[in-house]
Structure 1
Amino acid sequence: MQRSVKLFLKCVSLNMLGMLGISFYILADTFFIAQALGPNGIASLNLSIPIFGIMHGFGLMLGLGGATRYKILLSQNKQKQAIKVYSQTLLFALAFGVMFFIVGQFGSGAIANISGANPETFEPTSIYLRTVLTLAPFFILNNTLLSFVRNDGDPTLAMFGMITGSLLNVLLDYIFIFPLEMGMFGAALATSLSPVISLGVLMIHYFKPLNNLSFVFQKIEKRLVRDIMFLGSSAFVNEISGSVVMFTFNTIIFSLEGNDGLAAYGIIANVSFVVLSLFAGIAQGTQPLFSESYGLKNLSQIKQVLVLSLGTSLILSTVIYLSTYLYSDQLIAIFNSEQNPHIAEMATTGLLVYFAGFFFAGINIVSTSYFGATNQPKRSLLFSMLRGGIIIVPLVIVLSHFYEMKGVWLSFVFAEMSVMLLIAWKMNPEKRIRKRKRPG
């Protein structure tokens, strides 16, 4: 029992630190862009995030899906099949990376227009998109390999890969934007080099004795790829739906408050990205533990990891909300470079209302990860879809009509609370294990 708790704390803390590092460089992007380019720069960054999220979604889908199946097979001593899953996943990740590269070369301007860029934000938005999509193969391969290295028994190296890439990105952000005066291109280039650096760190795993990863070039099997994508579909839907929600929020907020509204939402969206990354760290840290326990049919360990992860999520939500309540003015002032009082007022209300939703969102993120890691992709996918768009999009349209900006923030809270109640109704680890033990 004590060993399981120590393993949980190790895996979760390492992944939370790694995800915190990634979110830190997103905050650095926001801060440096706010100082150099003002509200229009933040608005342009905010308009770029949805396509950026879609790209990340493909990498997470392949990484988490492939690594989940890989870990289950390893726990059942099926080494040959596990290596096959690893090889197929990397090949497919590379194919998706090339696809995004092509889109970036020929479609960045069109995506900027579709995202809602106006004459003031079109050029910086298209520059940011073209730059990050050019290096899309590295983003997708990095997300994929991080999951495999973590599930191959090396969460410490995965954490160092994420943090090293993130810290160097912050340094490059400053150099490119200020001394070299490269503007939005500099911010995008610094972000794009982060996964390249992280991949370099992850290569160390292949020289370690514990390494079980071995790439074998082979023809892509549709059946296996479908299985990998299905298992990782909740991660993909989370990112895609996040992009859909952000696009919806951007459109409604712009109609209500213009670029000032987008700047206020940009502050909230980027700070919330840090919070969500911490919850994702809990979910990713527990995923190999859930998958191994499921492969071994160990019900008591599944229950223990579930209780620990949900408890950690609630503690984290409480600390975050109290900190936000006490220091919201200081937090907003960091990104509100022109000290615009209207932006500050909207962002203050938004932080206090929107962040109440994290009490429910943290539980939902951990729970959907549990469903995926224990070979329940349909439930994981369903709850991800409910979280990502099916509930929140109609809510934000209706509530913003009656309560304007406050309605926008409330839609997130009500959507996450609704999904949490549905998850609580369907969560039953005992029934899941009993089904697997049934003969035939």
Structure 2
Amino acid sequence: MARVASDELGTWPIGKLLVKQAIPAAIGILVMSLNILVDSIFVGKWIGPMAIAAINVVLPVSFFIGALGIAIGVGGSSIISRALGQGDRTKAVSVFGNQIALTILITVALVVVGLSYRDVLIPAFGGKGAIFEPAKIYYTIILYGVPFLALCMMGNTVIRAEGKPKFAMIAMIVPSVGNLLMDYIFIYLFDWGMQGAAWASTVGYLSCFVYVAYFFLGKNTEIIGWWKAVGFQWSIVKEISALGSVTLARQAVTSVNYLILNNVLFDLGGEALVAVYAIIGRMLMFALFPVFGVTQGFLPIAGYNYGAQKFDRVKTSIYTAIKYASLVGTLVFLGLLIFPDFMVNLFLSDKADLPQSILDINAYVRAHGPNALRWVFAATPIIALQLIGSAYFQAVGKAIPAFLLTLSRQGFFFIPLVLILPVYWGALGVWLAFPLADLLATIVTGIALKREMARLG
């Protein structure tokens, strides 16, 4: 039964297969994104917009450590998908054992470092002024749960590489439901404030870890006996690291972007402008869930068929994934173009008895947030090509082009733009940097992907 699940990747029609893989991935990302969105709404309404800004400051550090799990997972899953395509299950087991050892070692070490230098890291990422204290509270608690998050993210990608998207979907739903439930208990009922928000997220990470462990200790996995392979084999570690560095570089640059953006925005407009970006950041995580779902569904299909040398199916999967992702990206863009005020107001409290400083921030966000939201999402209809293109090179084990294409948008283009444009246009320059970086990265990715398709024949 387990073998049939992975063999489907090489036999089913691509359109049907992509839907089967992408819908559970999209639902999982939707629930996870809804968790982030609703969590932010709860925090904004029950604690205040300053709390959202504080969480936004902490995210780059905690997400970077958590992203190590994703990086190790994606790097290893690319190898596992191709190994399963070649019928080499022994290698798949060895890779997973190395993934576990790497995830535990690296994330625990970084958590220790992160806690030791928290008073330096928090201000560096924009946690200045009134944002510092709530950010420190949230940061300290959340880091304790980040290694469990990393193990969950790593395991989730492997579950998907086995051709079991429904299990991967559940693994993303479990922590989201747990987090929202704990939000209500810890923040609303117990009135724990920022501590409640942090503990709610940490409990969510732990619940996800329990589910993923249940999957790999049960009968559903094809990677049987993985516990005997936990350890380090240099050849495998090297291959995981080369491919995983693409995902890690993406998150590292994302963290650097948060650092730059929070500081640039703080200098331009103080805490209020940081709060505007914090809300936009939540919408970026939420609104693009169907595009990310298609991308996640595409990865094991491309990797398996490339490993099986079914290049016509690889090309078909690329074209189909771009078509589906472009369609949903356009729908997302239209929704945000028409309803930006509604989206922004979701995060703001209507209470009139709030402190004047909070009321001032609310008024500023209402005035400037909708227009900023439109600009940031202006290039959404075309980003599918960039995401699918860079994902393809990662799926087939081509680490260098995947690495460069991944960095093109968030690093090579976005960082210079976000540093230069605000000099001339202020906050508007920050928002313009997003669609311009998307456009330039899409052009570069399109050229690289066209050449690769010609090579496949």
* TM-score normalised per structure 2: 0.91
Q: Name the CA distance, whole Å, in 2 between partners of 1:272 and 1:288.
A: 24
Could you say if the C-alpha distance between residues 245 and 105 of structure 1 is closer, same or farther in structure 2, counting changes exceeding 3 Å? closer
Q: CA deviation at 1:222?
A: 2.9
Q: CA deviation at 1:152?
A: 1.6
Kept in 1, the 8 Å contact 2:92–2:223? The answer is no
Q: 1:57 aligns with which of 67, 70, 84?
A: 67
Q: CA deviation at 1:168?
A: 1.7
Residue aligning to 2:58? 48
Q: Name the CA distance, whole Å, in 2 between partners of 1:210 and 1:92.
A: 20
Residue aligning to 2:163? 153
Supply the AA of the counterpart residue of 1:368.
S
Residue aligning to 2:219? 208
SS of corresponding position for 1:391: helix
Could you say if the C-alpha distance between residues 213 and 379 of structure 1 is closer, same or farther in structure 2, counting changes exceeding 3 Å? farther
Could you say if the C-alpha distance between residues 433 and 349 of structure 1 is closer, same or farther in structure 2, counting changes exceeding 3 Å? same
Q: Name the CA distance, whole Å, in 2 between partners of 1:2 and 1:66.
A: 24
Matched, 1:66 2:76: yes
Could you say if the C-alpha distance between residues 361 and 238 of structure 1 is closer, same or farther in structure 2, counting changes exceeding 3 Å? farther
Q: CA deviation at 1:383?
A: 1.0
Supply the AA of the counterpart residue of 1:199.
F
Q: Name the CA distance, whole Å, in 1 between partners of 2:221 and 2:103.
A: 24
Q: Name the CA distance, whole Å, in 2 between partners of 1:209 and 1:270.
A: 34
Q: CA deviation at 1:274?
A: 1.1
SS of corresponding position for 1:161: helix
Residue aligning to 1:18? 28
Q: Name the CA distance, whole Å, in 2 between partners of 1:243 and 1:105.
A: 17
Q: How does 1:12-161 map to 2 (within 5 A)?
A: 12-161=22-171
Q: 1:367 aligns with which of 389, 403, 417?
A: 389
Q: Name the CA distance, whole Å, in 2 between partners of 1:276 and 1:245.
A: 18
Kept in 1, the 8 Å contact 2:125–2:260? The answer is no
Provide, for residues 250-276 of structure 1, a one-character-per-residue CA deviation record: whole Å limited to 9, x for no partner: 111111111110111111111111134
Q: CA deviation at 1:399?
A: 1.0
Supply the AA of the counterpart residue of 2:65.
M
Q: 1:256 aligns with which of 247, 251, 268?
A: 268
Kept in 1, the 8 Å contact 2:14–2:320? The answer is no
Q: How does 1:261-300 map to 2 (within 5 A)?
A: 261-300=273-312
Kept in 2, the 8 Å contact 1:28–1:173? The answer is no
Q: 1:412 aligns with which of 404, 421, 434?
A: 434
Q: 2:422 aligns with which of 380, 389, 400?
A: 400
Matched, 1:196 2:206: yes
Q: CA deviation at 1:2?
A: 6.7
Q: CA deviation at 1:210?
A: 5.2
Q: Name the CA distance, whole Å, in 1 between partners of 2:289 and 2:63.
A: 13
Q: CA deviation at 1:345?
A: 2.0
Q: CA deviation at 1:243?
A: 1.3
Q: CA deviation at 1:410?
A: 0.7
Kept in 1, the 8 Å contact 2:25–2:296? The answer is yes
Q: Size of the alignment, in residue pairs?
A: 434
Matched, 1:318 2:330: yes
SS of corresponding position for 2:247: helix
SS of corresponding position for 2:349: coil
SS of corresponding position for 1:148: helix
Q: How does 1:295-374 map to 2 (within 5 A)?
A: 295-337=307-349, 340-374=362-396
Kept in 2, the 8 Å contact 1:67–1:151? The answer is yes
Q: Name the CA distance, whole Å, in 1 between partners of 2:80 and 2:401.
A: 20
Structure 2 regions of 5+ residues with no counterpart? 1-10, 351-358
SS of corresponding position for 1:159: helix
- RMSD over aligned Cα atoms: 1.8
Q: Name the CA distance, whole Å, in 2 between partners of 1:90 and 1:218.
A: 7
Matched, 1:424 2:446: yes
Q: Name the CA distance, whole Å, in 2 between partners of 1:404 and 1:218.
A: 52
Provide, for residues 106-151 of structure 1, a one-character-per-residue CA deviation record: whole Å limited to 9, x for no partner: 2323221222222411111111111121112201100110011111
Q: CA deviation at 1:298?
A: 1.1
Could you say if the C-alpha distance between residues 55 and 361 of structure 1 is closer, same or farther in structure 2, counting changes exceeding 3 Å? farther
Supply the AA of the counterpart residue of 1:280.
F
Q: Name the CA distance, whole Å, in 1 between partners of 2:97 and 2:147.
A: 16
Q: CA deviation at 1:166?
A: 0.7
Kept in 2, the 8 Å contact 1:100–1:137? The answer is no
Could you say if the C-alpha distance between residues 223 and 212 of structure 1 is closer, same or farther in structure 2, counting changes exceeding 3 Å? closer
Q: Name the CA distance, whole Å, in 1 between partners of 2:286 and 2:230.
A: 38
Q: CA deviation at 1:66?
A: 0.5
Kept in 2, the 8 Å contact 1:58–1:140? The answer is yes
Matched, 1:245 2:257: yes
Supply the AA of the counterpart residue of 1:312.
Y
Q: Name the CA distance, whole Å, in 1 between partners of 2:385 and 2:258.
A: 21
Supply the AA of the counterpart residue of 1:40.
M
Kept in 2, the 8 Å contact 1:132–1:192? The answer is yes
Residue aligning to 1:166? 176
Supply the AA of the counterpart residue of 2:287.
V
Provide, for residues 151-170 of structure 1, a one-character-per-residue CA deviation record: whole Å limited to 9, x for no partner: 12221111011112211211
Q: CA deviation at 1:341?
A: 3.0
Provide, for residues 66-96 of structure 1, a one-character-per-residue CA deviation record: whole Å limited to 9, x for no partner: 0110111121122222211110111101112
